[in-house]
Amino acid sequence: MSAPVTIEISARDGEARAGTLRTPHGAVQTPTFMPVGTKATVKGLTPGDLRTIGAGIVLGNTYHLYLRPGSDLVQEAGGLHAFSGWEGPMLTDSGGYQVFSLAKTRRISENGVEFTSVYDGSVHAFTSELTTRVQEDLGADVAMVLDECPPAGADQQYHAESLRRTARWAERCKAAHGKRDQALFGIVQGGLFADLRRESLERTVAIGFDGYAVGGLSVGESREEMLETLEVVAPELPPEKPRYFMGIGDPVGILQVIALGVDMFDCVLPTRLARHGAALTAEGRLNLRNARFRRDLGRLDPECGCEACTDYSRAYLAHLVREDEILGHRLITLHNVYFMTDLCRRARGAITGGRYDEWSRAWISRYMGEQVPARPV
């Protein structure tokens, strides 16, 4: 039986890949940025907005949806697609990152992890079997295995023990997973240790999943450390399977991981920045709270085709932000998500045209306002 989610690679330029991710809820052009809809909504945007923007696949959060409103209610409503009104492809994480970020209120064992709800202090336990069942109830196209994301600064021994436990949990997730129209992705851990990353990769691939994610990066390490670690992992991932980098959302970082062969990525950064009045543009990040935008009647980003850029001025958007008007947050969120989606579209074109390295370095240089040299091979 064929996998419920597959990827067809149509072009390569170095390690960079352009392709089509096929899911039960439609096809997605890759590389693709997945807007984060933590609680079954991308903050400030409707499903219609996401369709207009051109978003291909949206991410939901198992931890929050398990606690509120509960996966049983979502299942009763017909699954996450029907409940949220988004009929395109969806991915749910396992909730592991949220649980493990709450270091003071959780306890890890071989069976899983016990934690305290951020909402009401009630005690819960995530196991491989439970997070798999919850994601089946939510009904997203892609579910993730339960993994541990070790704390920043953890030593090599901790990472070694953690990745082996994560591999055992992944085996249990696969054994528990029975939803035939839902893919299950494995996760490679191992911190910044090349030998442990290789061990985790071998263990995870040996179990056999519909796609593979790289976790435990973009969590506080330097950018160079992140890229060096990804260079160890990405080339060894099965080329016929989707590749997902978890938790990266800044434009420069996205272009850098695309260059190493990543197909999918997600982050709350574009929507979080918008709520603080910051917009992503081709000339870099703009803080609309700055006084220089008070009387700036130019477009937010002259190269952008979103509603915020075509219909409103920087001065008006800055006014909305300073007055804490909901419309300001909504318009800048719409712009930032459009910006990330369009960046992936441009990256795909550069890969298809065989000019990705030259194009991405020029784009990053302009965004950062300084010349960016090629990374050593």
**Residues classed as catalytic:** 93, 266
Take residue 95 and report the two structure tokens written for it: 């909730």
- In a 10 Å sphere around its CB, with 0-12 CB exposed, 13-18 middle and 19+ buried, how is residue 124 labelled? middle
HSE-CB of 50 using CA atoms within 13 angstroms? 26
Q: Is 39 helix (H, G, I), strand (E, B) or coil?
A: coil
Residue in 184, 234, 233 with CA at minimum distance from that of residue 209: 184
Rounded (5°) CA angle 224-225-230: 100
Tell me how far apart the alpha carbons of residues 341 and 363 are, in angstroms, rounded to a whole number: 15
State the virtual CA torsion across 341, 346, 347, 350 in degrees, nearest 10.
170
Take residue 56 and report the two structure tokens written for it: 């291909």
For residue 308, give every residue at least 6 positions away whose Cβ sits within 8 Å of its Cβ, in sequence order, or none.
Answer: 279, 300, 317, 331, 332, 334, 335
Query: How do 106-108 and 112-116 pair as beta strands?
Result: antiparallel
Tell me how far apart the alpha carbons of residues 160 and 146 are, in angstroms, rounded to a whole number: 17
Question: Dihedral of CA 167/111/221/90: which sign?
Answer: positive
